[in-house]
């Protein structure tokens, strides 16, 4: 196994489903159940990627219940950064942690676009997630007009640097890997069916890894941070995406809402893992 592959294998391959504002409690429970059943029907002994299901807050308890004893983990789609208080309508990190939620999406582009999320609020939330033992999946990505103006790299750099501000290597690192996941999601590719070409997605994910390397120089963090691609990921694109050096998994919206669409993506992640063991 070459050095690069040793580094790749060190970080988790993650396939995460962002269910967004979809599914009632019973529908979410049924979807989680069919994913679990689909996984159980697969041949035993095959290494699986980390699978993370992110339903709405009201469905978290039901989905946690349905995935008990299965390889699936559960994530929230957002949270406040404060612990408690007079913040009507918000959900606090300790509430998620107490439920055994393990992941939380932070700064998804829809939160940035429609709910006033900024690089500063993203930073506060990433810090809060780490403080409560939740793994933040920090989402970054450029708008179409930023890409067309040649600003992609600058925008992504700003988002990564601001999002990780004042977070130490010690806060991020843990035995066996990093506690922060980054998702590169070009906004123009989300929910549009327009996929960012794999080599370009890989280039930006590599850029992100380079930024983390600079940020935590000499701390051995960058090679263990999983960097996911998101934006119209589907069964027909996953294999090529999972062959890229810097794409460690996928954050999936539309294709995570049906088990028959999502299970092939998990298989795509499993193939990436297999390629390490055969390297
Ligand atoms: P999409 O959404 O897969 O429907 O493009 C991805 C996301 O928003 O995380």
- Closest ligand 1 atom to residue 252 Cα is 3
Question: For position 255, what pLDDT does the model report?
Answer: 98
**Partners of 72 in beta bridges:** 51
Q: What is the pTM of this model?
A: 0.95
C-alpha to C-alpha distance for 165 and 171, rounded to whole angstroms: 12
- Residue 238 CA, ligand 1 centroid: distance in Å: 13
Centroid of ligand 1 to alpha carbon of 185 (angstroms): 8
Residue whose Cα lies nearest atom 2 of ligand 1: it is 253
Are 47 and 271 a contacting pair, CB within 8 Å?
Answer: no
* pLDDT reported for residue 8: 57
Dist. CA 240–CA 106, nearest whole Å: 26
Distance separating alpha carbons of residues 244 and 74, to the nearest angstrom: 26
Q: Which of 50, 62, 117, 185 is catalytic?
A: 185
| Residue pLDDT, tens place only, 182-206 | 999 999 999 898 889 999 999 999 9
Q: Which atom of ligand 1 is nearest to the CA of 232?
A: 5
Residue 66's CB is within 10 A of a number of other CB atoms, namely 23
Which tokens is 271 given?
């193939």
Tell which atom from ligand 1 comes closest to the C-alpha of 233.
3
278 CA from centroid of ligand 1 (Å)? 31
Distance of CA 265 from the midpoint of ligand 1 (Å): 13
231 lines ligand 1 (CB under 6 A): yes
pLDDT of residue 277: 73
The residue with greater pLDDT, 220 or 262, is 262
Residue to mutate (ligand 1; options 14, 16, 185, 195; most atoms within 8 A of CB) = 185
pLDDT at residue 216 tops 50 = yes
pLDDT in tens, 20-44: 999 999 999 999 999 999 999 988 8
CATH superfamily of 7-277: Aldolase class I (3.20.20.70)
- Name residues whose C-beta falls within 8 Å of residue 181's C-beta, 6 or more positions apart in sequence: 14, 103, 135, 136, 137, 138, 225, 226, 227, 228
pLDDT in tens, 142-193: 999 999 999 999 999 999 999 999 999 988 887 667 899 999 999 999 989 8
> Comparing 8-12, 81-85, 93-97, 245-249, which segment has the lowest mean pLDDT?
8-12
Residue range 228-244, pLDDT digits in tens: 999 999 999 999 999 99
Handedness of CA 237, 243, 245, 250 (dihedral sign): positive
Strands (E), the chain: 14-18, 50-54, 72-76, 103-106, 135-140, 173-174, 177-178, 181-184, 226-230, 249-252
Cα–chain-centroid distance for residue 273?
A: 17
**Closest Cα to residue 179, out of 95, 104, 256?**
104
Give the sign of the dihedral formed by CA 51, CA 55, CA 57, CA 62: negative
């Amino acid at each position: 196994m070459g050095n690069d592959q040793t580094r790749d294998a060190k970080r988790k391959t993650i396939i995460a489903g962002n269910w967004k504002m979809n599914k009632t409690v019973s529908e979410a429970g049924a979807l989680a159940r069919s994913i679990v059943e689909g996984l159980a029907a697969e041949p035993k002994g095959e290494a699986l990627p980390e699978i993370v299901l992110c339903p709405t807050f009201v469905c978290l308890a039901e989905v946690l219940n349905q995935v008990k004893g299965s390889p699936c983990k559960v994530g929230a789609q957002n949270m406040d950064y404060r612990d408690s208080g007079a913040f009507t309508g918000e959900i606090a990190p300790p509430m998620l942690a107490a439920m055994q939620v393990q992941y939380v999406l932070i700064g998804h582009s829809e939160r940035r676009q429609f709910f006033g999320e900024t690089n500063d609020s993203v930073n506060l939330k990433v810090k809060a997630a780490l403080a409560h033992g939740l793994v933040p999946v920090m989402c970054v990505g450029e708008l179409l007009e930023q890409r067309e103006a040649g600003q992609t790299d600058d925008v992504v750099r700003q988002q990564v640097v601001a999002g990780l501000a004042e977070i130490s290597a010690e806060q991020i690192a843990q035995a066996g890997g990093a506690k922060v996941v980054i998702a590169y999601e070009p906004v123009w590719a989300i929910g549009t069916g327009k996929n960012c070409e794999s080599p370009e997605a890989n280039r930006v994910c590599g850029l992100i890894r380079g930024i983390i390397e600079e940020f935590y120089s000499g701390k051995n963090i960058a090679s263990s941070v999983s960097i996911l691609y998101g934006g119209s990921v589907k069964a027909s694109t996953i294999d090529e995406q999972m062959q890229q050096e810097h794409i460690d998994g996928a954050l999936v919206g539309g294709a995570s809402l049906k088990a028959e669409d999502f299970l092939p993506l998990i298989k795509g992640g499993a193939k990436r893992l297999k390629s390490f063991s055969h390297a």
